[in-house]
Amino acid sequence: MDKNFQKTSHILTLIIVGVLCFMVIVFVFGVGVFVGQARAEFSFRWAQAYHKNFGGPQMGIFSNFPNRDFTNAHGVFGQVIGLGVNSMIVKGQNGMETMVVISLKTFLVHDSAKITLQDIAIGDNVVIVGSPDNQGRVSAELIRVLTDV
């Protein structure tokens, strides 16, 4: 009986080790699929919104190439034409309208005085420095209202 018990114990140990190895392999494969899918989705979204994110031509990269109506994705200079609760629309130098998102971290200044969003009016000339988001907007880090342009 003791020999039979050892044989059964050895087989049971091999089965447990085999199941654990299989579970580890499935887990690693699942992580690989998850990471690969996340990278593929990011690449797809980035390519779909390339011209919006980086202020490229409205008709796509190659269809309007000679006009070169690219804008700066990291900021905008122009006149405020719309105000929202935490956003504004700025008409840039080339006539392109840019949505600017304002957060609690955004630093707003007029001359050397710190201001709030309520101090900005439609028609003010502004310089905005920020970073592009995945919806073609500029997330503002600094907004400077200009006295006279």
What is the per-residue pLDDT across 39-82, written as a single tens digit (0 to 9) for each? 888 777 777 766 665 555 555 544 544 444 555 667 888 999 99
What is the per-residue pLDDT across 90-117, written as a single tens digit (0 to 9) for each? 998 778 888 999 999 999 999 888 999 8
Q: Are residues 79 and 44 in the same domain?
A: no
Q: Are residues 78 and 133 in the same domain?
A: yes
Q: Are residues 129 and 80 in the same domain?
A: yes
Q: Which of 147, 90, 91 is nearest to 115 (CA)?
A: 147
pLDDT at res. 28:
96
Distance CA 53, CA 86 (A): 19
Q: Are residues 40 and 77 in the same domain?
A: no
* 13 in a structural domain: yes
CATH of the domain at 132: 2.40.50.140
What is the per-residue pLDDT across 71-87, written as a single tens digit (0 to 9) for each? 566 788 899 999 998 99
Q: Are residues 93 and 135 in the same domain?
A: yes
Q: Are residues 134 and 87 in the same domain?
A: yes
- Amino acid letter, residue 6: Q
Give me the residues paired with residue 89 across strands: 82, 99
Q: Are residues 44 and 79 in the same domain?
A: no
* 118 in a structural domain: yes
Domain containing 39 equals 2-48
Number of domains in the chain: 2
* 121 in a structural domain: yes
* 83 in a structural domain: yes
